[in-house]
Structure 1
Amino acid sequence: MTSMATAVQDYARALALLSPDHYRVGPFTVRHNPGWELKYANYAIPDRDAEPTADEVAALVDAFGAHRRLPRLEFLPAWAPAVEPALIAAGFTVENRAPLLACGHEDLRPPKPVDGLSIGTPVTEAEFTEAARVQHHGFGGEGEPEPGATDWLRAAATGDGVAALAVLDGAPAGVGGCSAAIDGLSELAGLAVAARHRRRGVGAALSAWLTERAFAQGCRTVWLEPGDADVERVYAGIGYRRIGEKVNISLEPSGG
């Protein structure tokens, strides 16, 4: 595991510990979002070099159940090599092994301009609602977003992070955010582009805008997890490079 990958895992765990509704179960820190059931907003991270017992894994599963959330973890396997085998033994399955990408201030490259595109920080309640709706639908959701989605964007925009709403041809086109920096690191997350505006350069422009704003706020490196290989190529085009690999692993309900 590279030093940058280690720093990213340290950051993710520190951010989870700072989240107001986190809780601890054995050697795990659980990031819980009471207003947002999205699985990506609720997950556990093991302590470094954790060697959980079967009872501790069972207690973690029970805790997720008590909070009405899918038992799920995100971490770098080399951070705690004994954890994945313990989870597999308990019935967990690997969702995917996702690359981690990072971009330093000197690496960021400008994307191709998109005619008619404007990007800014949401300010009004209507803008936060529109941004959350784009994000919700971009992640495959139906209907209206949960309150937690709007809360996440508002916290990023009004706190020490960054939030952005892209508008193209007068319509909301994309959304994303960067979390507050810790030791010069920030995570770019929650980026989604409305279906009708995809493959027009919105994602690259929005990512570059968010990354640049994070740098302007004192961040040295921004990291992220791309959704798939096509998305990774978009990020590579503006200067992001692979630094490691993360495992996303969960326990589906019996019979699910």
Structure 2
Amino acid sequence: MDTQVQNFAVANLRRRPVVVETGGFVAGFDPGTASPYLNYATPLPGAEPTEQDVAALVAAFRERGLMPRLEFAPEAAPGVVPALRAAGFETEAVHEYLVCTPSGLMVPPAAHAPGVEIPETDEEYAALDAALAEAFGGVFAPSAEGAARLRRIQQGGGAVRFVRPPEGGCAGVASCSPPAEDTAELGGVGTRPAHRGRGVAGAVTAAVTAAMFAQGVGSVWLEYSGEGSRRVYERVGYRPRGTRLYLSLPRKQRL
């Protein structure tokens, strides 16, 4: 699964508005934001970069005023980590990833789950982006660009689903990328604090996962941020399959 997830990461970055490929790396950039979570690189499976390859990758970030940063499944490219460490890259995080297959999906009973909808209007996409901003504690601010990215996911072959509370707006949302390499990445699952503990996250996770399986995708994978969210995903049918590594080059190493 590591190689499949890594092949997906490569294909997904190649969808970005600006793509740079150099020395066994693919870097995807979004000129609409400086967020490190939307501007990063990943290696090709089996890549064995040289010192010069890493330097060229760093230069691609420097010329855009961005922090050099990578996300990847290390077991799919074991020669990459030593080369990056030698250049001064440090670990941001190591995340376990979970995988769900069609036979393992467990959809919550409709009688016990909140209703899930597909966004359609600009107002709904803006409400979803605002809900994610609140759910993630202000890591990013709601924006027109964020709402537009959610719309592009839904209209580009991925899936976006949300729960509308009685007072309107958005209680929680989940999105899944368009598929590649017979898999897709589920991300951006967030529930507003006032609506947590009501099955919202499980309902939207199951809905986007089912939407991708309806397209014929063989698996969906995700990363989780804590044991609470892991339990939500496991109840839907996700199971651990590997790890993903996040590396970045500290500012002192980029002067």
After TM superposition, the score normalised by the length of structure 1 is 0.90
Is 209-218 or 194-203 further displaced after alignment? 194-203
Residues 1:40 and 2:33 aligned together = no
Alignment-derived partner of residue 170 in structure 2: 172
Q: CA RMSD in A?
A: 2.2
Cα distance between partner residues in 2 of 1:77 and 1:104: 22
Change over 3 Å in CA distance of 1:216–1:116 after alignment to 2: closer
Structure 1 equivalent of residue 116 of structure 2: 119
Within a 5 Å distance, the mapping from 1:170-209 to structure 2 comes to: 170=167, 171-209=169-207
Q: Tell me the distance in 2 between the aligned counterparts of 1:73 and 1:219.
A: 26
Q: Equivalent residues in 2 for 1:27-66 (5 A)?
A: 27-66=24-63
* Secondary structure at 2:170 match in 1: strand
Counterpart of 1:226 (choices 212, 224, 227) is 224
| Whole-Å separation in 2 of the counterparts to 1:119 and 1:127 | 13
Q: In the TM superposition, what is the alpha-carbon distance from 1:114 to its structure 2 partner?
A: 8.0
User: For the Cα contact (< 8 Å) 1:36–1:149, is it kept in 2?
Assistant: no
TM-score w.r.t. length of structure 2: 0.90
Q: Which consecutive unaligned segments of at least 5 residues does structure 1 have?
A: none
**1:1-256 to 2 correspondence within 5 Å?**
4-111=1-108, 117-141=114-138, 144-170=141-167, 171-254=169-252
Q: Percent identity?
A: 36
Matched positions, count: 253
Q: CA deviation at 1:102?
A: 0.8
Segments of structure 2 that go 5 or more residues without pairing to the other structure are: none
Distance 1:28 1:148, change over 3 A: farther
User: For the Cα contact (< 8 Å) 2:173–2:189, is it kept in 1?
Assistant: yes
Provide the C-alpha distance between the structure 2 equivalents of 1:112 and 1:200, rounded to a whole number of angstroms.
13
Check the 8 A contact 1:112/1:205 in 2, yes or no. Answer: no
Shift, 1:36, TM fit: 2.9
Aligned to 2:103, the other structure's residue is in SS state: coil
- Give the ranges of 4+ consecutive aligned residues of structure 1 lying more than 4 Å apart after TM superposition: 112-116
SS in 1 for 2:157: coil
Deviates more, 1:141-150 or 1:201-210: 141-150
